């Protein structure tokens, strides 16, 4: 048997099962990351409340999910929870596991990004009568978002790689589809090379999209700074 077979490699590039697994990997990454962003933002806001209870819950939540391996969490959801009377399908266990595993990292990113915005801007906006929701939407959030975009972009890549772990609960994403193919023809080198190329391709495309979004967000940041400057001007005029 030849070490490398170009015909097998080219066949695997267009193999329907691998392409289907690739699509599963992409949408699973996007869906679970979006859910993690929502959950992580809520957790970060909870941690920002000036209360020992909420701060303790925040720290415990973050510590628990960051300290336990995603692999253990997935197997626990799929295999151990039925013993407690809660049964998840493969898809449900994959989505829940990936969401909860990613959410503490998002929470830390959101918390640090919000903390990086000078408190003086919040105080100035409150001083001229702006409502908290308006302050957050128009002044604080655009600046925090600019800070959060690069690390959140990195989390997409990390989540993309994490999806390969759902193969242990028999979900067919890119890695499992590749592994299933190698069980039939034993051409592991070509199949894994194809999988690697697809992972690299998705990461490269995401990197370009992230760079474009960062450029666009820079314009939003410029507008938010203009808004903050106008608030300071208003305060000076009032005095």
pLDDT in tens, 186-202: 999 999 999 999 999 99
Listed in sequence order, the residues at least 6 apart from 48 whose beta carbon sits closer than 8 Å to its beta carbon are 111, 114
Residue 170: left if φ>0, alpha if ψ -120 to 50, beta else—which one? left
CATH number of 6-238: 1.10.3720.10
Tokens of 117: 């915005």
Domain layout of the chain by residue ranges? 6-238
* Nearest-angstrom CA–CA distance, 12 and 184: 12
Choose the weakest-confidence range: 134-148, 172-186, 198-212, 223-237. 223-237
* Nearest-angstrom CA–CA distance, 146 and 214: 7
* pLDDT tens readout for residues 129-167: 888 778 888 888 888 888 898 899 899 999 999 999 999
The residue ranges of DSSP E strands in 90-193, in sequence order, are none
For the question of whether the overall pTM of this predicted structure is more than 0.95, the answer is no
């Amino acid at each position: 048997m030849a070490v490398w077979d170009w015909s097998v490699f080219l066949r695997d590039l267009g193999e329907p099962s691998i392409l289907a697994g690739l699509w599963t990997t992409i949408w699973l990454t996007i869906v679970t990351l979006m859910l993690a962003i929502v959950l992580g933002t809520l957790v970060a806001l909870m941690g920002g409340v000036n209360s020992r209870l909420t701060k303790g819950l925040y720290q415990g939540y973050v510590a628990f999910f960051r300290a336990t391996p995603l692999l253990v969490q997935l197997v626990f959801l799929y295999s151990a929870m039925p013993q407690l009377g809660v049964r998840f399908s493969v898809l449900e266990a994959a989505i829940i596991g990936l969401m909860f595993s990613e959410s503490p990292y998002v929470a830390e990113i959101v918390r640090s990004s919000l903390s990086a915005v000078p408190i003086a801007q919040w105080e100035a906006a409150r001083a001229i009568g702006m409502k908290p929701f308006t302050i957050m939407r128009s002044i604080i959030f655009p600046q925090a978002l600019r800070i959060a975009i690069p690390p959140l972009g990195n989390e997409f890549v990390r989540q993309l790689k994490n999806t390969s772990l759902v193969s242990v609960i028999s979900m067919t994403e890119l890695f499992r589809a590749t592994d299933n193919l190698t069980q039939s023809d034993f051409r592991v080198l070509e199949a894994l090379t194809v999988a690697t190329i697809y992972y690299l391709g998705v990461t490269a495309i995401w990197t370009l999209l992230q760079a474009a979004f960062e450029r666009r967000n820079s314009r939003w940041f410029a507008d938010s700074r203009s808004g903050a400057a106008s608030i300071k001007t208003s305060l000076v005029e009032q005095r």
